[in-house]
Amino acid sequence: MPADQFLGSVFVLVLYDVSDEISLEELRPLVGGRILTPAFKHTTPGYVRFQRAPVVESVEPIKLETGEEFTATIQYYDYGVVGALLQHSYSGSWSNLQEVASRWISTAFFNELTSQMVQQRVKSVRPALRKPYENWLSEEYYIFHLHASAAVSTQELIRDHGQQISQLIDGETVPLAPAEQAEVMQASLSYYPNDLTVVGWNAAFIYDSESGAQPTIRILEYANSQLLQFRHYDELLTQELREGYRFLASRRGVLARWRMRPGASRLRAVLLEVTELTERTNHALKFVGDMFSARLYKLCASEIGVTEFQALVHDKLQTAGDLYDFMIDQFNQARGFLLESIVVIILIIELVFLFRGK
């Protein structure tokens, strides 16, 4: 491989959170898609699998006004995420690729492009959606794949082109400071002497064969779909907590606290729903028996932000649980007070009749 030339692909992944759930059984006849089976770098046990494998639909290639052409597929996940994966085959120099990466990463062009495509597909599969959303959250991610060569080891690639790799991941055309380059390259992982994956928060670099790169691309796609889901749960819980505090502020006094139960019941329903959805998202893909894929996923989740949002959702679930307990406690106190008041009133009435009888 010449020092300044290489072959590879650029992948643009744009994911949308469109509904609470997608019934994949109802979806498949509508799109004629295939089931996506997870691929791994080496032979793994049969229990390394998707709980509910997403459905993949091939769509027409996309050609940009600038001349670049992309093949395209759409992935449908059962937890309500729809993703568009665009692939552009690339042949050229590092500097040209850096310019392309900087131009694409710094704009919302692909989000706008894929949004129209996904909206059309979602309309056609609406019967398979459960609780569709009016407003969609989205995630955009870039993957730069360089075809591996037996003549160039991972160590040689990092030594000779570590600067260019870090620039690609950060979307920069100028060299980075040594500390920033080291920080970017630290988030890397290899399985063989001549493969490499470097993960950033909005882009990743893969040095591998075409077949070897596919598992990594799928894990990156899965991690980004998780990030999208946890962002949705974070916004939902933030809104519910805000409503819960507002509800408490408007319910002052014993009689007002008697009306706590409807608000507490609503909060409890949201808690159970989010807990169920997060469990399904967390366990959508099993890595038991493939420790390398598990480590790669852990790296992707950490760098992309899944771990951070997962912790935020966990903390807000605990806060919502504490708020629910407080509301129920207030309701029980109000109920106890009213019951005691009724007993006292009955006793007073009985005493009145008793003394009148005398």
> Which CB contacts under 8 angstroms, 24+ apart, belong to 285-289?
285/38, 285/49, 285/50, 285/51, 285/222, 286/47, 286/48, 286/49, 286/50, 286/51, 287/48, 288/45, 288/47, 288/48, 289/44, 289/45, 289/47, 289/48
The pLDDT confidence band at residue 40, using thresholds 50, 70 and 90, is: low
Mean model confidence pLDDT for the chain: 83
pLDDT digits (tens, 9 = 90+) for 259-317: 556 666 667 777 777 777 677 666 666 665 678 888 898 999 999 998 899 888 888 88
SS3 state at 271: helix
Return the SS3 of 117: helix
User: Taking 60 as the threshold, does the pLDDT of residue 43 lie above it?
Assistant: no
pLDDT tens per residue, range 116-136:
899 999 999 999 999 999 999
Residue 128 DSSP class: G
pLDDT at 47 over 50: no
> Which pLDDT belongs to residue 48?
45
- Between 85 and 258, the higher pLDDT residue: 85
- CA–CA gap between residue 129 and residue 112 (Å, rounded): 22
